[in-house]
Structure 1
């Protein structure tokens, strides 16, 4: 049992990565839409590249979205709305006529004529002048439980009563009573036809729902298209219908498990390729569980967002800012890893997006442009310029595909260009997202490194006040290391920041370090060599404590831990040997670890060379050359660079830069022959 637990503890990193791999694969498959994948890829306007295709089963030809939209528009244009006929209004008006008649006619008048006129008015109904009537010729009038189509011009509007009354009384030869009747009807006549919006909306919705989405059927075995035929017109519509029918029916019954099995193989294969890439080219990233988790989280996040966009509306996949992925990975790691992960993610998304070939081509091109253009994110204008270039590439590529498919510019969906602009605006979110990731995963980007490199920051200001000599030494090391990093292709910004902070632990005992001693008094003269060595060694641990207290990133703390590796405080060790020849050398060694990256190795070389260069007297080219060779070769002999991914060729390049810089520092001139 104890051995089993020991094996689990020893292999915990491998177990975690396996668990992460399985979870990521399962989650991506879960996010995939539950539909099969049509086995043929085709594009409008291009030749059918497969064998002759025959209908595998009976299926209906689906109408295009434009055809359905046109039919819906036609239904709306011809729809006859519903109006309610209120009989209670008619009864009320009739009663008021009986009651008010005597008030308007003092002498005996033609009462029966007025009754006939009211009956004529309300035969089909009276509407208010403010009532909006449709453009259709008829309206549906609901009277009780009956619906009767009524010609629109038979409905009487209140404003037309005077004209109707005049014509009616003229026919009855009662024009002398027109004014009295008009005053009476003005007082009592009320509209009884009112629009029934609820019933109209329901009826319109029913009519729209009854529109057929198909236009004929294709029988099983019927030839659909021949090899080499151009996919266009009716053939394109039939192929599109077959694809929809195929995908909607495939994910059923026992097929479900086979499709899941197939997706599992493909998704797992993509993630295996990622892990193999990390193992071969980025082993230091693969060893860091946090960084591996970070990469997987970003891939899953992009699959999740794209899946939501596809489910809502396929066109909105172009709003998803997929280029954020290479931007972020390049900011935290490097361009090659960023592009590789971006391409793998795009390949995964090809399973779920419409027009997968176009999408993959478009996103891969955009990813390449992103990697080539986005640099130095700490410069605010760079991201805006790069995003503008990415958006332009999106538009140009989409335009080219549309021209190929349509053969003209008439059917270009200009709205998609607006979607690409939204995509560009969303890509600008990379800056705050980088900051969020730094806090969540403890990673460091060039933006944070630029902030840390400010010598006016609180910690470096404190170093310059308490240990001015150490501060000056750190600046010199930073300049040397940055130049060397540029020469061998290392992260120059990270190297500079690491060099600036590598000796901050000396602040606690500044006077015990020669660069900070301004008088001839040396405090080491008053203590024994063992104590002196421990004070010198202690500055590494003090630096780590100070860095953590001030929330410096782990990548910067690595430089503090490794800049002396496991080297020996040789001066005090030799001094102690004079007192005790049996003194163990282990007591005078730094605790390590030794450098484990190209960047930390460069800082170690630069630190040792810069510190020792202060002892040079009357330096010349030969002295500087031998001096640098001696120091760096000793570090190699001690095995200080065994864990660092730095080659002998790169070490020689670092030496060359250090020699050139020291030559410039000491202002050596060329010795001319006599």
Structure 2
């Protein structure tokens, strides 16, 4: 009596230890946030719940758009220039002095000298700039600039500006007579020509900073209470920038109290406990034999936790990864080892657990519900690989029809049906073939005997049965007769025909 009591207590401790471990692992690997920082990437679905703005949030351009805008503004930026009148006057005065100096031996009339000085003044009135600045102008990189005059910046064309060398060449070509050219050469005008249009570095820097600030200014605002992003929405570059701004503002304002740290986790723990508790309740009231079996409960919970954690990983690793996840392996495996009701209830438990990371909860549950029903009803007794292939095809058809129904409801047209999404569902159906591997692993780990194994044991080509037919043909025929009679009786009373045949 004491031995039975000890065994019962041990079973209870094991069941609830498995329950606690399942809750802990499921909650531990759930994506969560502290209310200030989230884990997200561009072109990946948002894996958290609905996020609304707790205050007004400015909307900035995303990094790509901002870079394009900066490049565009940089290409059209007009630096600030200013005219150095003192340099201009000094150059003209120096050149006049050299023309009139007796040391240069220039024999020109006063009228000719004034004509040459007028041409120099004309060149300087158009503007002489530094060589590097002129090269930018000549290459078309600086078609316009801002000329500062009386503290007012005026946008002007730079096409008339010359470099010192080009200014000298222009003056030389403007003189018609050789003695005039000899005169400017003798006066060494080339070494006197210096720029009178120079870059105003301070004003240029100010204009550039103002331009960048205007470019980086907010282009909109998300008002308090307005939706930022919802679960399953793809994080675009714009949303990525908005989420970064949201996190920065939260940190600046010091928002992120204990309610952000603990309440979501408490909600997740309660959610997971209720689902696993409902499964335990179903086992206790409707399948007490399963509930009393330690290995049955351990196998069922291990299968659910493993698939749930794998689903979490798929949702984070791949876009639409959840739709490639072969959830129907759960009911297929449990139908083989247990029964259809337990298989379906366990399947729904796994699906509902995964809604914590599913992009569109209602659509996701609908797809998996239909697929689970098809998987169970099409696999009453899994004894051949061909059955699994047929089941996979039926599940794919069920997925495709369910997905099409959802798209028609939401968009009202078949054009919205995505072949890429159908492809994901096709991959899902292909992965169902791994059910045989899962069945084999669970048989070895938990000591179950599946219907597939029973069929193999009752196969007359089994080496043991073949040896029996050769060594003891009478016994073999008697066993076959008993097997047929027992199978017929089991079929009439609804017992496990495969198990009875293999046993006989």
- 1:212-291 superposed matches below 5 A: 216-220=220-224, 253-291=258-296
Could you tell me how far apart the structure 1 residues matched to 2:374 and 2:343 are?
A: 12
Offset at residue 309 of structure 1 (A): 1.7
- Which shifted more, 378-387 or 337-346? 378-387
Q: Is 1:327 the equivalent of 2:332?
A: yes
For residue 423 of structure 1, what is the aligned residue in structure 2? 428
Q: How far apart are the structure 2 equivalents of 1:77 and 1:406? A: 39
- Does 2:359 correspond to 1:364? no
Q: Choose the corresponding residue for 1:486, options 477, 488, 491.
A: 491
Mapped partners of 1:379, 1:6: distance in 2: 40
Contact 1:60 1:214 in 2 (8 A): no
Alignment of 1:81-96 (within 5 A): none
Deviation at 1:78, TM superposition (A): 7.8
Q: 1:342 Cα deviation (Å)?
A: 0.3
Q: Does 1:58 align with 2:55?
A: yes
Correspondences of 1:355-394 after superposition (within 5 Å): 355-394=360-399
Question: Which aligned pairs between 1:353-502 and structure 2 lie closer than 5 A?
Answer: 353-465=358-470, 467-499=472-504
Unaligned runs of 5+ in 1: 38-54, 82-122, 125-136, 140-210, 225-236, 500-674
Task: List per-residue Cα deviations over 1:149-208 (Å, max 9, x = no partner).
Answer: xxxxxxxxxxxxxxxxxxxxxxxxxxxxxxxxxxxxxxxxxxxxxxxxxxxxxxxxxxxx
Deviation at 1:391, TM superposition (A): 1.2
Q: What do residues 381-407 of structure 1 show as CA deviations (whole Å, max 9, x unaligned)?
A: 222222112112212222222233334
Residue 19, structure 1, aligned to residue 17, structure 2: yes
Do the aligned partners of 2:59 and 2:222 also contact (CA within 8 Å) in 1?
no
- Aligned equivalents of 1:482 and 1:288: distance in 2? 27
In 2: Cα distance, 1:79 partner to 1:465 partner: 93
- Structure-2 change in CA distance of 1:407 and 1:466 (3 Å): closer
Shift of 1:280: 2.6
1:121-155 Cα distance to aligned partner (Å, 9 max, x none): xx89xxxxxxxxxxxx989xxxxxxxxxxxxxxxx
Deviation of residue 23 (structure 1)? 0.6
Structure 1 residue 19: deviation in Å?
0.7
Which of 16, 31, 34 is matched with 1:33 structurally? Answer: 31
Q: TM-score when scaled to structure 2?
A: 0.58
Q: How does 1:586-605 map to 2 (within 5 A)?
A: none
- CA distance in 2 between counterparts of 1:72 and 1:449 reads 67
Which residue pairs with 1:338 in the alignment?
343
> For residues 270-328 of structure 1, what are the alpha-carbon distances to aligned partners after superposition, in whole Å with 9 as ceiling and x for unaligned?
11221222223322222221221111111111111111122224411111111111111
Asked if the contact 1:314/1:353 (under 8 Å) is kept, the reply is no
Q: Which residue of 2 aligns with 1:312?
A: 317
Quote the offset at 1:269 in angstroms. Answer: 1.7
Aligned equivalents of 2:70, 2:313: Cα separation in 1: 32
Structure 1 residues 213 and 422, CA gap change in structure 2 (3 angstroms): farther
Distance 1:252 1:483, change over 3 A: farther
Q: CA deviation at 1:352?
A: 1.8
Q: CA RMSD in A?
A: 4.3
Is the partner of 2:320 in helix, strand or coil?
helix
Question: Closer, same or farther in 2 for the Cα pair 1:302/1:349, shift >3 Å?
Answer: same
Change in CA separation of 1:492 and 1:61 when aligned onto 2, cut-off 3 Å: farther
SS in 1 for 2:480: helix
TM-aligned CA deviation for residue 411 of structure 1: 4.8
| Distance of aligned partners of 1:219 and 1:62 in 2 relative to their CA distance in 1, 3 Å threshold | closer
Please say if residues 57 and 222 of structure 2, whose CA atoms lie closer than 8 Å, have aligned partners that are also in contact: yes
Q: Secondary structure at the match of 1:217?
A: strand
Using a 3 Å threshold, how does the CA distance of structure 1 residues 318 and 277 change in structure 2: closer, same or farther? same
Q: Which has the higher contact order (CA 8 A, sep 6+)?
A: 2
TM-score, normalised on structure 1?
0.44
Per-residue deviation, 1:364: 0.9
Take 1:399 and 1:266, find their aligned partners in 2: how far apart are those partners? Answer: 30
Alpha carbons 1:330, 1:371 under 8 Å: kept: yes
Cα contact 2:66–2:216 (8 A) shared by 1: no
Q: Report the alpha carbon displacement of residue 474 of structure 1 after superposing the two structures with TM.
A: 2.3
> Alpha carbons of 1:463 and 1:251: their partners in 2 closer, same or farther (altered >3 Å)?
farther
**1:607-622 residue pairs with structure 2 within 5 A?**
none
Note the C-alpha offset of 1:56: 6.6
Asked if the contact 1:251–1:259 (Cα under 8 Å) also holds between the matched residues in 2, the reply is no
CA distance in 2, matches of 1:297, 1:313: 24
Shift of 1:428: 1.5
Pair 1:215–1:286, CA change in 2 (3 A): farther
* Partner SS, residue 419 of structure 1: helix
CA contact under 8 A between 1:31 and 1:303: conserved in structure 2? Answer: no
Q: Secondary structure at the match of 1:34?
A: coil
Compute the displacement of 1:433 (Å).
Answer: 2.3
Q: Is contact 1:58-1:217 (8 Å) kept?
A: no
Would the aligned equivalents of 1:80 and 1:138 in 2 still touch at CA under 8 Å? no
How many residues are treated as equivalent by the alignment? 340
Deviation of residue 493 (structure 1)? Answer: 0.7
Question: 1:429 aligns to what SS in structure 2?
Answer: helix
**Could you say if the C-alpha distance between residues 379 and 12 of structure 1 is closer, same or farther in structure 2, counting changes exceeding 3 Å?**
same
**In the aligned structure 2, how far is the partner of 1:437 from the partner of 1:402?**
38
Counterparts of 1:446 and 1:438, CA distance in 2 = 11
Cα deviation, residue 466, structure 1: 5.2
